[in-house]
Amino acid sequence: MSKISLMINNINELKLDVESIIIGIKKFNNLNMLELTIDQLKKINIDKEIFVSINKPIHDSEIEELTDILLSLDNINISGVLFDDISVYQICKEKKLNLNLIWSNIHQTTNYNSINVWNKLGVKSVFISPDITLKEIIDIKNNSKSSVFVPIYGMFDIFTSNRFLISNYLKYIHESKRNTKYYIENNNIKYPIYENENGTHIINGNVLNGLDEVIELFDNNIDYLVINSYMIDNIDKVIDNFNSVKKMYLNKNIDKDKINKLSTELNSSNKGFLYKETIYKVKSDENE
């Protein structure tokens, strides 16, 4: 049965009713979630699976620090490490660490061939890209032996730069940076944009809501349904509703109208790419 995994953004969210938690490692995480140091991580004592995210492109100058972090994590009781940069895998192999690695190159985990190659290399889990269709997600699950994490609710990262784009702009227009949230707007959607020590990140401003799809995901033995709490005011409600659907499924008492109502309560009908394929070849007259 699928577990619900929460990318937390606040330490208080540890107590929410989910089976699994994802937390970023300070300085080495690229995705939008709470980041903790190794020492802070050690102090967490909860009866849930804890996955940590080392999800940034790693610069050569960071290899030593990364190695120390991985060695520390190997001695902590965590359920796994989500990684983007292959150096994480390489260091774990060289140091013979027993960490459960989850391939999590968020925009490139888009096909089962690659996932199966990683599986043969010992990486038995994958965080699926939010940029692909529901059919592609299910095909991946049905054609690979890996356990899969599927982003199903929330706002996910859509851009990473090593440049400090907000600071650069504010400097150019002679304004000071404020201690506030920044957004860029396109087509009436406001996309959160923020800087951390690694550069600039942009988050999809349109909340993905896949609650209507979870029955199909349960049917196809998806291992983890991932919810990101970033800027979600009613995260308790979101989790309650996902758990309600899960309970229905377990009780074999599926009521599609009720699921639809629960979904509507979450104030987003955005299905992301679940039913929409991206295009990459355009007609010549569209490509000026």
Partner 1 sequence: MNEIELLAPAGDLERLKWALLYGADAVYIGGRDFSLRANATNFSIDEIEEAVKFAHNLKKKVYVTVNIVFHNNDYSGLENYIKALEKCKVDAVIVSDIGAIDIIKKISPKMELHISTQSSTMNYKTALFYKKLGVKRIVLARECNKNEIKNIIDKAKIDTECFIHGAMCVGVSGKCVLSNYMTNRDSNRGGCSQICRWDFDLYANDEKLENETKFTMCSKDLSMARYIKDMIDIGVKSFKIEGRMRSIYYIATVVHTYRKIIDEVLSSKGNYKFNKNYETILNRVANRESVPQFFDKSPGVEEQYYLGRQELSNQDFLGIVLDYDEKKDIAIIEQRNYFKIGDEVEIFGPNKETISFKINSIIDEDNNIIDVARHPRQIVKINVPVKVCKNDIMRIKIF
**Buried-state track 223-242, b at ≥16 Cβ within 10 A, e below 16:** bbbbbbbbebeebeebbebb
In the complex, what is the shortest distance from the CB of residue 10 to partner 1, in angstroms, rounded to a whole number? Answer: 19
Rg (alpha carbons) of the chain, rounded to whole number: 19
- Is 181 or 261 the residue whose CB approaches partner 1 more closely? 181
Q: Is 203 helix (H, G, I), strand (E, B) or coil?
A: strand
CB of 178 vs partner 1, minimal distance in Å: 5
Decide if 126 contacts 149 (C-beta within 8 A): yes
Q: What is the DSSP string of 226-241?
A: EEE-TT-TTHHHHHHH
Name which of 19 and 74 has its Cβ closer to partner 1.
74
SS3 category, 242? helix
Q: Which is nearer to partner 1, 202 or 248 (CB)?
A: 202
Q: Which is nearer to partner 1, 175 or 233 (CB)?
A: 175
Determine how many CB atoms are found less than 10 A away from the CB of residue 74: 15
Q: How far is CA 135 from CA 173, 177, 215, 269, 271, in A?
A: 46, 43, 14, 19, 13
| Closer of 56 and 246 to partner 1 (Cβ) | 56
Minimum separation from the CB atom of position 50 to partner 1 (A): 25
Q: How many CB atoms lie within 10 A of CB 179?
A: 4
Minimum Å gap between C-beta 236 and partner 1 is 24
Return left, alpha or beta for 122; rule: phi > 0 is left, psi -120 to 50 is alpha, else beta. left
**In whole angstroms, how close is the CB of 46 to partner 1 at the nearest point?**
31
Q: Which is nearer to partner 1, 33 or 140 (CB)?
A: 140
CB of 78 to partner 1, least distance (A): 21
Q: Give the pairing type, strands 80-83 and 147-154.
A: unpaired
Distance CA 70, CA 99 (A): 8
